[in-house]
Amino acid sequence: MKLNRKNSLVFLFLTFFSVLFVACGSDDDDDDNNVETRDTEKPQIQLTLPAEGDEYVREVQSILINGTLTDNQALDTCYVFLSYTQKSASGSLKSIDDPNPFDRGPVGYSLSGKEHTFTNEDPFGSIDADSKPGEYIFSITVKDAAGNEASEDITISIIEQQ
């Protein structure tokens, strides 16, 4: 078979692009070693205080935090809140002598590393003497450096001194 000029150009063109595609291909072995995996794992919250159903005496106690926050890569921030859950009776007028809910927060913590431990941390201070007794929600929210978030709500009560 005789090659003419047109066939030669087509052959050269195909050869050039074949070499170009092979040369630009990636080497799978190198990519596997340099692949950076995205962190999608949420931080973990393990609290021993406060615990579900705990009671705190107003004017006598503080709501302390004990526990550990962990993450597989790196922790970033933590926020704690306390909010009153019961609503006032509808239609009743509020007196200036009525106790106010002990709503607090957010109290923020800047974190680093893979683990943070709370030991008798007192984010809200002593419970005010005029705080409204009742059911409250203690909330904790933790974010890691990749933006993954975990949260936990714990129901506690503030009671009057007996």
For residue 143, the model assigns a pLDDT of 98
Q: For the beta carbon of residue 69, count every other beta carbon within 10 angstroms.
A: 22
Q: Comparing C-alpha atoms, which of 158, 161, 154, 160 is closest to residue 134? A: 158
For residue 88, the model assigns a pLDDT of 44
Is domain 44-88+97-159 classified as CATH 3.40.50.300?
Answer: no
Residue 46 backbone zone (phi > 0: left; psi -120 to 50: alpha; other: beta)? beta
Query: What confidence tier does 162 reach under pLDDT thresholds 50, 70, 90?
Result: confident
For residue 27, the model assigns a pLDDT of 53
